[in-house]
Amino acid sequence: MSKMLITGGVGFIGVNAADHFLSKGWEVIILDNFSRKGTEINQAFLENKYPSGLTIVKADVITDQPVLDDLCNKVDVVLHLAAQVAVTTSVTDPRSDFDCNAQGTFNVLEAIRKSSAKPTLIFASTNKVYGGLESVGVDEGERRYSFAGGLKGVTEEMLLDFHSPYGCSKGAADQYVRDYSRLYDLKTVVLRQSCIYGPHQMGIEDQGWVAWFMIATLFNRPVTIYGNGKQVRDLLYVDDLVAAYEACIENIDTVSGQVFNMGGGADNTLSLIEFLDFLKDDLQMGVEYSFGGVRPGDQPIFVSDNSKFMKATGWSPQFDTTKGIANLLEWLKENKDKLEGFYS
Ligand SMILES: NC(=O)c1ccc[n+]([C@@H]2O[C@H](COP(=O)([O-])OP(=O)(O)OC[C@H]3O[C@@H](n4cnc5c(N)ncnc54)[C@H](O)[C@@H]3O)[C@@H](O)[C@H]2O)c1
C-alpha cells in the first residue's frame, strides 16, 4: 500500500486530496496545526468516512521539525499544502507569512533531503509568482479585463515577479522546491495554482472568494468588491486539481524537477462582477455588495496556460464552472448548519 503525507491536510484542498487518495486505498497521514477555521469540520468528515487508513497529527511545519523528519521517512509521497494563504494577512503580518510559507517549506524539504525514504514532493505554489504581469498589459472591457495583444494564457516562460509578501514567500518556496530536485536529485514537482474552488472551501473575505461570495449570500452577509470587480480569474475545480496531483505521481519520472501552471484555463474564466451576476441571474442568489480600494498584490487578470502539464501527463480539467459551482453550492447547503457558527 502507498503512503502519503499531506501537510495542511484538513484545509480545503487537503481534505479533498485526502478523501480522494484514501478512497483509492492509500494510507494518508495528515499534519496540520488547525490554524484555519473550519478544519475541525473537515477532520470530522474524514474520520467518519475513513475509520482506518487515516492518521491526523496536530503539528506545525514551522516549529515541529522532528515530527516532519519522522513522517517524511514513513511515506512515498508528500503533498505540501500547509501555508499562510491570504495575501491580505501577508501584508499585515509578513513575518508569520514568511515563517510559514518559506521557512515551513524549507523545513519540509530538509526533512525529505535527510530521509532515507526520499518521498516525492508535490508543492502547491501559486500564480502570484508572476506578479502584476506588467509586461503583458491589460485591456479594460465593460465587465472584465482581458490580456492586451490577444494573449490567451500565461505559460511558465513568463518572468517571475513576486508581488506581496505572500507572492515572495511562496515564490521563494517554489524556487527552493525546484532547486532541491536539481541539487539533491529529489523528486519534486511545483504546481503554480490559479484560483481553486469546490466543496469544503470555507472562504472568507480575505481568501477563497468564490466560496465566500456564495456563503455571504446564504448567510445574508454583505460583500465588498476590492477594485472595480473586473478582475478575471481562471477557476479550477478542486477535483481537477487532485487529479493533477495524481497525474504527477503517476508520471513522476516525466514531471520531476519541473514547474507547471495549473488553472482552469481560458475556458473557465470569470470576473468578479460576472460571477455575482451569475449568482443572481442563474442561481437566484442575489448578494448585497459595495466597492472598496484595490488590494495590494491583486492581479487584474490571471489565466493559466495549462498546455505544458497537459502534454506531459495527458491531464485536462473535467469540470466547467457551471458544474463546479453547482457542486460547491450543494455542499454549502448540505453543511449550512455546521458553518452557521462562524458565518452568521
Ligand atoms: N485555494 C486556492 O485557490 C489556492 C491557490 C493557489 C495556491 N494555493 C495553495 O494551496 C495550498 C492549500 O490551500 P487551501 O486553499 O487548501 O488553504 P487552507 O487554508 O484551507 O489550508 C491550509 C491548511 O494549512 C494549515 N496550516 C497553516 N499553517 C500551518 C502550519 N504552520 N503548520 C501546519 N499546518 C498549517 C491550516 O490549518 C489549513 O488546514 C496552500 O499552500 C496555498 O498557498 C491555494
Domain span at 66: 3-343
Any idea what the CATH number is for the domain that residue 14 is in?
Answer: 3.40.50.720
**Would you put residue 229 in left (φ > 0), alpha (ψ -120 to 50) or beta?**
left
Distance 195 CA to ligand 1 centre (A): 13
The confidence score (pLDDT) of residue 288 equals 86
- Which residue has the least CA distance to atom 23 on ligand 1? 8
User: Which pTM was predicted?
Assistant: 0.98
Domain count of the fold of the chain:
1
CA of 168 to the centre of ligand 1 (A): 16
The answer, yes or no, to whether any atom of ligand 1 lies below 6 A from the CB of 11, is yes
pLDDT value for 306: 98
DSSP string, 27-77: EEEEEE---STTHHHHHHHHHHH-SSSEEEEE--TTT-HHHHHHHHTS-SE
The confidence score (pLDDT) of residue 263 equals: 98
pLDDT in tens, the chain (344 residues): 699 999 999 999 999 999 999 999 999 999 999 999 999 999 999 999 999 999 999 999 999 999 999 999 999 999 999 999 999 999 999 999 999 999 999 999 999 999 999 999 999 999 999 998 989 999 999 999 999 998 999 999 999 999 999 999 999 999 999 999 999 999 999 999 999 999 999 999 899 999 999 999 999 999 999 999 999 999 999 999 999 999 999 999 999 999 999 999 999 999 999 999 999 999 999 888 999 999 887 889 999 999 999 999 999 999 999 999 999 999 999 999 999 887 87
Q: Is 166 a catalytic residue?
A: yes
Q: 281 C-alpha to center of ligand 1: Å?
A: 32
pLDDT of residue 287: 85
Confirm or reject: Cβ of 128 under 6 Å from ligand 1: no
Which element (helix H / strand E) includes 4?
strand 3-7
The active-site residue out of 145, 166, 197, 343 is 166
Distances (CA, A) of 4 to 12, 19, 146: 17, 12, 39
User: Ligand 1: does its nearest atom lie under 6 Å from the Cβ of 243?
Assistant: no
Q: How far apart are CA 38 and CA 152, in angstroms?
A: 36
Which of 31, 39, 81, 236 should be mutated for ligand 1, with most atoms under 8 A from CB?
81
Closest C-alpha to ligand 1, atom 36: 36
Cβ of residue 196 lying under 6 Å from some atom of ligand 1: yes
CA distance 182 to 185: 6
Number of H helices, E strands in the chain: 14, 15
What's the confidence (pLDDT) of residue 296? Answer: 83
> What per-residue confidence (pLDDT) applies to 286?
87
Q: How far is the CA of 155 from the centre of ligand 1 (A)?
A: 24
- The CA 82 to ligand 1 mean position distance, Å, reads 5
- pLDDT of the residue at 308: 98
Q: What is the pLDDT of residue 82?
A: 98
- Give yes or no for residue 39 CB within 6 A of ligand 1: yes
Choose which residue among 13, 80, 200, 206 to substitute to test ligand 1 binding: the one with the highest number of ligand atoms within 8 A of its C-beta: 13
User: What is the reported pLDDT for 216?
Assistant: 93
- For residue 35, give the ligand 1 atom closest to its CA: 37
How far is ligand 1, taken at its centre, from the CA of residue 32, in Å?
Answer: 10
42 lines ligand 1 (CB under 6 A): no
CA 272 to ligand 1 centroid distance, Å: 22
Cβ–ligand 1 distance for 207 under 6 Å, the answer no
Q: Which residues contact 235 (CB under 8 A, 6 or more apart)?
A: 194, 195, 196, 197, 210, 263, 264, 268, 269, 270, 321, 324
Q: Does 235 sit in the ligand 1 pocket, CB within 6 Å?
A: no
- Torsion sign over Cα 34, 35, 39, 44: positive
